[in-house]
Structure 1
Amino acid sequence: MLTLRVDADTVSRTRLSPSPASESMAWLKLAAASGRHPVFGDPGPLARASLAHPDVALLADLLPRNGDTYTPDLLTPQPGTGTQRRDLIDEQIAQIEAVAQDDLEEQLFTYTRTHWSRPLRATTIRIAESGRLQRRLANGLARFWRDSLSDGWPELRSILDQDIAHRATAMATHGVGRTLGALHPDIAWTGDAISIAKSWDGEIDATGRDLVFAPSVLGRPGVIIQVDTPGQLVLYYPAQRIGTSRDRRSGNLAEVVGNARAVLLADLETARSTKELATRSGYAPGTISYHLGALHRAGLVTKVRAGRYVLYQRTAQAAGMLDEAGG
């Protein structure tokens, strides 16, 4: 049993927030392991194609595998308060780039050695020791987010926001303690502490610290506690509604994530140029070019030059995905 010792200050600073970085890491782990989400299925070709980028591959190499569970906390910074101009994901990317070298080395060199059954790659160690790893990891997260999750984040965010709204109402009605104790069967509120059912015993002093409860859609169904980065205390729990009939009808997250790309694929039965697609869809040419690049890397569109223009057309694989989504 793990115990988080809290005080009134902790309770007053407890908040609920989604964590796009954590959702990205969960989706990246599935893509790298050729795994499937129990509700949303296969991460899809866009996520797998993103792994070809060296910074995304470097990020994926720092995720647990072969039964290990430890993920360096620096990859999932505590979500901000939302008062900044930037989006949550931009704030978290900036936090990764700003991680102190001592904290990075402690998590990568000490904690992975303790919790992993495999050693860090020599290349990763060299990059970490050079002080360049923070920027590479931040760039890897930004690239994976753009390639596989950004276009559909509003769909996922709506599920997370509904959970947060439900919990906020419960807090207003029943109080903080009762609401926290109802987040998950493995979480209990004792009055001066939060207990979490774990296979190991421990106590963490959370007095006077910010405590963020983050609902998760793509992560594991259990409860995860994040305490290794100084000043960042996050507890992840499964959001409600995951696995409802509405979610199961989506079948594959590729059918939910990527509205703009789905529009383009549906219009690419006939070969078209970027300019023509922009006119027909209403998206800016730059947006069209970005999405076509991602679709091409994933093998979902082909491109051929015809005079002054490059013409794009969907592949048989993309046509099959559209047929499956329509069914």
Structure 2
Amino acid sequence: MITLRLGPADLARIRFGSRPHPVGTAILASQTLRDPALAARMPDLAARAQAASASTAALRHLLPARGLLPDFLTPYSGIDSVAAGIESIRATPRRRITAELTETYANLPPSLWRRRLVAADPEVLDLLMAAVHRYFDEVLAPVWSQLTLTHRSHVEHRARTYARCGVDGLLSELHPAIRWRPPILEIDSWWSAELSGNGEGLLLIPGPFAGLRPRVLVPAGGPVLLVYPVQILTKRASTSIDPLAQLLGGTRAAVLRQLAEPGRHTTTELSRRVGVSISSASEHAAALRAAGLIDSERSGGAKVHWLTPLGVHLLAGDVRPPTGLLG
């Protein structure tokens, strides 16, 4: 059990992650889908993970099948892409890699590759990062927009809880393994500790691959990170008719769906991904913005676009909070 004492400064700075972290999600998924009970809840993903097992074997050997993972493998930065997340991991100081892996491997049998990774051997770290990249591409990429919508729908639902019930209501309803007894947050996690917030707040991450228990990361000089389990938003049964395309038009629907994918979505990037001219992408974005489905802002020489809550719910196929996200 972790007890986390939150002071006024922490309670004033509670926020949610803006979107799923590609590398962090891949690391957690690679562990969670090794648990037969958890894998049975996500059979399609589990089947893809099994099909990718040969090319991602380094993940299974170098990371434990359950429980604690080294914090440096779930970084705060590098959220924009798999490559950015991997670069963030590569920038981890050698001393931290050694310290965290020594603790992680305490109850695992030693091996040459584990010893080399504890020593921050660049060759073995490269092997692990290549396996992470392949795992994302082969297992998660086909459902990344679905995972993004799960995250955003859950955050929007919790935001409404906060608006109605304040901090007490938000923290009381996160997950059955999380209990709010002001000013203490009790978390039934994989390890035990008595912690205090550092005034940097609490960063909440709804994680379909968190596993059976919430996960807590307490970095120096940053907010406490709390990843807690939620269920993946399930898609409605597919039909030969695309209702979103009927509503918006095929190209406009494609632009909206592209905005649920990971990355920074500029007008130029949208035109490339959807296969239209830049001027056409700009016109479609303007129409979606006028309908309240996306927001945009100028950043340097580019215009960047993202989904609004209404756009998230339209893509999710239901304007109500999906009950499957409340687990």
Give TM-score, length-normalised by structure 1.
Answer: 0.61
Query: Retained in 2: the 8 A contact 1:4–1:193?
Result: yes
Q: Distance in 1 between matches of 2:63 and 2:120?
A: 21
Sort the Cα spacing of 1:94 and 1:232 in 2 relative to 1 into closer, same or farther, 3 A: farther
SS at match of 1:212: strand
Residues 13 and 119 (structure 1 numbering): CA distance in 2 closer, same or farther, change over 3 Å?
A: farther
Match of 2:76 among 72, 78, 81: 78
Distance 1:198-1:139 versus aligned 2 partners, 3 A rule: closer
In the alignment, the residues of structure 1 paired with residue 206 and residue 101 of structure 2 have an alpha-carbon distance, to the nearest angstrom, of 26
Mapped contact 2:189–2:215 kept (Cα < 8 A): no
Give CA deviations for 1:142-190 in whole Å, capped at 9, x if unaligned. 2211122113200121112110111112112221232012101222223
Alignment partner, residue 45 of structure 2: 43
The letter for the 1-side match of 2:114 is T
- For residues 95-143 of structure 1, the C-alpha deviation after alignment (integer angstroms, 9 at most, x for no partner) is 2121111111011113421xx2x22422231244253144443332222
Q: Please name the residue that 2:114 is paired with.
A: 124
SS at match of 2:64: coil
Which secondary structure state, in structure 2, belongs to the residue aligned with residue 104 of structure 1?
Answer: helix
1:107 aligns with 2:89: no
Name which of structure 1's ranges 12-21 and 94-103 shifts more when overlaid on structure 2.
Answer: 12-21
| 1:239 to 1:100, Cα distance in 2 relative to 1, 3 A | same
Which residue does 1:16 correspond to in 2? Answer: 16
Instruction: Give the superposition deviation at 1:236.
Output: 1.6
Aligned to 2:243: none
Work out the CA distance in 2 between the residues paired with 1:104 and 1:229: 15
Distance 2:190 2:118 in 1: 31
Aligned in 2, Cα 1:190/1:51: closer, same or farther, shift over 3 Å?
A: same
1:93 aligns with 2:93: no
Counterpart residue number, 1:63? 63
Q: Distance in 2 between matches of 1:92 and 1:225?
A: 19
How many pairs does the alignment contain?
A: 238
Distance in 2 (CA, whole Å) between partners of 1:30 and 1:190 is: 29
Amino acid at match of 1:204: L
Q: 1:235-274 residue pairs with structure 2 within 5 A?
A: 235-239=226-230, 242=232, 246=234
User: In the alignment, is the contact (CA less than 8 A) between 1:107 and 1:228 conserved in 2?
Assistant: no
Change (3 A) 1:157 1:128: same
Distance 1:197 1:128, change over 3 A: closer
* 5+ residue gaps, structure 2: 239-272, 276-327
Q: CA RMSD in A?
A: 3.3
The 1:145/1:37 distance shift into structure 2, 3 A limit, reads same
Partner of 1:171 in structure 2? Answer: 162
* Cα distance, 1:182–1:108 mapped onto 2, change above 3 Å: same
Structure number with greater CO (CA < 8 Å, separation at least 6) is: 1
* Paired amino acid for 2:95: D
User: Following the alignment from structure 2 to structure 1, what is the Cα–Cα distance between the partners of residues 182 and 216?
Assistant: 19
Structure 2 counterparts to residues 92-241 of structure 1, below 5 A: 92-113=85-106, 116=107, 118-129=108-119, 131-132=121-122, 133-197=124-188, 201-227=192-218, 231=222, 233-239=224-230
C-alpha distance in 2, partners of 1:35/1:248?
A: 24
Q: Percent identity?
A: 26
